[in-house]
Structure 1
Amino acid sequence: MNDTTPADAHQGLHSEQGALRGEHPGRAPQPVIKVTDIAWLEFTKPDLGRAETFARDFGFTVDARSDDALYLRGALAGTHCLVIRKGPGSRFIGPAFKAADADDLNRLARATGRSVRPIADHGGGRCVDLLDPSGLPVRVVHGVQELPALPVQQPLVVNTGTAVARFNATQRPEHAPARIERLGHLVLSTRVFRRALDWYLTHLGLIVSDFLYLDGQRDRGPTMAFIRCDLGSRPADHHTLAMHLGPETGYVHSAYQVADLDALAAGGRYLGERGYRRSWGIGRHIQGSQIFDYWRDPDHLMLEHFTDGDLFDSTLEPGWATMCTSGLSQWGPPATRDFLGSTPSPRLLREAITALREDNEIDRRRLLGLMKALSS
């Protein structure tokens, strides 16, 4: 455990604002464990053949395949990063996070009243199975088979200003899928944002990089958090998990790293030529700074290609900013209704009505604030 004092890094580094007195500190004082990364995500799909075709076109490599399951990996060394099981519909099951060692699994099991059990599945290892406050299954794993690295796409040699690195040679990005290097992050929506946030910080030792709050409602606390692993002095992705308050509960999108902007853009052209639909992009985010490109799979689930994201060590405090659509990117096309999930529909109306009737953190003022944020 690293005993470091968070640094005030809000003079133009990653946020215009820091916390005010009494606001959420963005970390738990004594977390049960500190996970080191996100391991994989699990889904069900009715057609594994169609799922595999999209996966290859998106840039995944198939690690293993059976009649009932598909295991996908990136090119960097590590575990598989997606598990797709055959099921009656397209559905997100939940994430798995990596524990630092076997003792962490034991400590987590004791703290939660759960047990450590073998993983009777491809890759082996051991795990503790939990439920977060939204009811989402969350698995923490250790000892899963580590896969060796595969060949990666090499970033193009780029001339910048007066720095000439390439001459007597042309640029010709490969006309092929953008090769996935690794799983980067998962984004979730929840009706119990504060409870879910505190659960992940306390049980998994995650820490917040940036908070967003609704315009005029900062006194009610944040409504979105970009959350990273606490690796001490080692830099970690700006966010491994992001969560926001909303009337829907569950998966929003997942993001996968590629080599550079050319790999991302050429990979997007490849996807478009094969009839897949871009949701939003290409652009560069503000929180996290990633260059992004969002796509829908054949079952309408959203996946992101990204490159050049921010890395923070454990010393940076959370930034604070107003939640708004214009604050999602530094450059790029305007965020689409498809990406924002704000296209009016009977399903969305039902979710909003249900959320208002339940005992959660959604009320009329917050729902109006979320609607305003999506249009600002």
Structure 2
Amino acid sequence: MTSHHGTHNDLHSEQGALRGEHPGRAKNPVIKVLDLAWLEFCKPDLAASEQFAHAFGFTTVSRTADELQLRGTDVGVPCVIVRRGSRSRYVGAAFRAVDSSDVLRLANATGALVQKLPESIGGLTVDLTDPSGVEVRVVADTRELAALPPQPTGVFNFGQNAARTNAVQRPPREPARIQRLGHVVVQTTLYLQTLNWYLEHLGLIVSDFKYYAGQRERGPTMSFIRCDRGATPTDHHTLAMTLGPRNRYVHSAYQVGDLDALAAGGEYLREKGFHRSWGIGRHIEGSQVFDYWRDPDGLMVEHFADGDLFDCALEPGWSPMTASGLAQWGPPVTKDFLGLNPGPEALRELVSTARALRDHNEFDLSRLRGLLKVASS
């Protein structure tokens, strides 16, 4: 195990797991998914959602009175599907299986039905629900959209390694063109149960575990989870999951070409009056350059570039959860990003905390103390 932990030195745990700690993967998962396919949301105003989506860098695939499909420039299916609903909410994620036989295998293992997807997407799906109540689709044989022209990336001079001469760097102030969906982050009151469900059913594996300071013996409280594609490198995390007082969406992330696209796209969003939650900076887990924004309904979305890629050989890193440990560089983490700004969202979290402490789940008084320390650490 130690031969693979150089990646986690300094900013991550140097030793990885201790004896008896969670291995970060299932011994015999039902299937191994390849990637996220798309995320599904409900929104009351599809016109406002589309306006923000275009400013954020999505391209519309189709829009009806009841559904909006959005895509990036990469080959594939729409990466976001928004349906009309009475309130803004995250519905769930669709994961891409290797082929239809994996969809059938998962359906047989869970007792769920295999169904055809709408003609606009094609293919098959098995629809499940994780222990936190989030809808999970596993799909195969979907119809692929052709690639769109990518946003040009810069040619950079690094010290004496000068690749650009007699030319200037002038990134246009325009929407950062989304390439693809990267990951989704969720909070759950049943963290360990939900984590194990994804590892056992979808074959995901953990890149990094986080634990509350002074509570490592109680196990992890957050995990960054990637797809297992063997020797083929994949994103450091496709799904991230954290323990908390209620089940909720935290944010989703979308890849753009480079730092210039991210920064110039952020200036475009700022000038359009949209709210930056936190950024620009570089994360520790995953190493992405990040920039977080709120959509008109308050849901958080992230532009990212230059993320880590791991193959199946790397074992999980272990490190304490701290607010200061969220970034290598960048502005201090904001109260808005941490959900500490006064308002309806913070009130819901407070009410949920009182309820969670009464209910039977993994969020108890000791875990609450650990979470409170994170915000000030």
Does the alignment reach a TM-score above 0.5?
A: yes
Partner of 2:358: 357
1:244-296: CA deviation from partner (whole Å, max 9, x where unpaired): 00012121000000000000000000000000000000000000000000000
Residue of structure 1 equivalent to 2:4: 9
Find the counterpart in structure 2 of residue 370 from structure 1.
371
Q: How does 1:205-244 map to 2 (within 5 A)?
A: 205-244=203-242
> What's 1:82 paired with?
80
Shift of 1:10: 2.2
Shift of 1:120: 2.7
Instruction: State, as a whole percentage, how many aligned pairs show the same letter.
Output: 60
* 2:116–2:122 contact (8 Å) kept in structure 1: yes
Contact 1:294 1:304 in 2 (8 A): yes
- Equivalent position of 1:326 in the other structure: 324
| Distance of 1:305 and 1:122 partners within structure 2 | 27
Counterpart CA distance in 1 for 2:265 and 2:198 is 34
Q: Which runs of 5+ in 1 are unaligned?
A: 1-5
- Quote the Cα distance in structure 2 between the aligned partners of 1:299 and 1:190: 21
Distance 2:242 2:165 in 1: 47
Task: Note if contact 1:7-1:315 (Cα within 8 Å) is conserved in structure 2.
Answer: no
- Decide whether the 8 Å contact of 1:176 with 1:266 is kept in 2: yes
Deviation at 1:149, TM superposition (A): 0.5
1:175, CA displacement in angstroms?
Answer: 1.5
Task: Output the CA distance in 2 between the equivalents of 1:85 and 1:349.
Answer: 29
Give the corresponding residue for 1:3: none
Q: Is the 8 A contact 1:7 1:316 kept in 2?
A: no
The answer to whether the Cα contact below 8 Å between 1:126 and 1:142 also exists between their aligned partners in 2 is yes
**AA matched with 1:126:** L
Match of 1:308 among 302, 306, 309: 306
- Say which SS state the counterpart of residue 161 (structure 2) adopts: coil
- Contact conserved, 1:70 with 1:84, CA < 8 A, in 2? yes
Query: CA offsets, 1:111-162, max 9 Å, x none?
Result: 1011111113521211000010001110100111111110111210010011
- TM norm structure 2: 0.97
3-state SS in 2 of match to 1:186: strand
| Partner of residue 27 from structure 2, selected from 26, 29, 33 | 29
1:145 to 140, 143, 155: 143
Asked whether the equivalents of residues 8 and 317 of structure 2 are also in contact (C-alpha less than 8 Å), the reply is no
1:263 aligns with 2:261: yes
- Cα drift, residue 375 of structure 1: 1.4
State the Cα distance separating 1:55 from its structure 2 match.
0.3
What amino acid is aligned across from residue 353 of structure 1 in structure 2? A
Q: Which amino acid aligns with 1:253?
A: H
Q: Partner amino acid for 2:134?
A: L
Residue aligned with 1:11, SS = helix
Any gaps of 5 or more consecutive residues in structure 2? Answer: none
TM-score after normalising by structure 1: 0.97
Displacement of 1:8 in angstroms is 3.7
